[in-house]
Amino acid sequence: MIGRFSKILCGIALTWSCAAAGLFLLHEFNQPWPCSVARIARLRAREIEMGIEQFQIENKRCPAGTAELIQGRYVSIHSLVDPWGRALLFWCKDDGPRALSAGPDREFGTADDVTDAY
């Protein structure tokens, strides 16, 4: 009986320890895990591209800037900024719109830039 009770207490203590460690890390670094951050950047780039596609269908042209996308509710204002606090770039191409995050180094044109492509 005591052995079983000890195992239950150890399991509870381990669960609470893991939860506490996770909360500490979240508080300490105040941001999601790196893979989650890159995923958020990809999703925001995709939201912008989809918003531009819809804009183009309705207006037969590329949007002049972010104001048109926001005013027409094609994208949310939050999707225009990547998880690292930098505005995403977007442009129209013949094969469709493109959006780009500068990535963790916050500089465009480097290896860690993020698009919606996996």
- Residue entry with tokens 């052995």: 3
Q: What is the chain's Cα-based Rg? A: 21
Structure tokens that stand for 53 in this block: 């596609």
Average pLDDT estimate for 90-100: 92
Placement of tokens 């939201």 in the chain: 47
Percent of residues, the chain, with pLDDT higher than 90: 61
Tell me the three state secondary structure of residue 109.
coil
Please, are residues 43 and 101 in contact by the beta-carbon 8 Å criterion? no
Residue 2 scores a pLDDT above 70: no
pLDDT grade, residue 116 (50/70/90)?
confident
Q: Which residues pair with 100 in a beta bridge?
A: 89
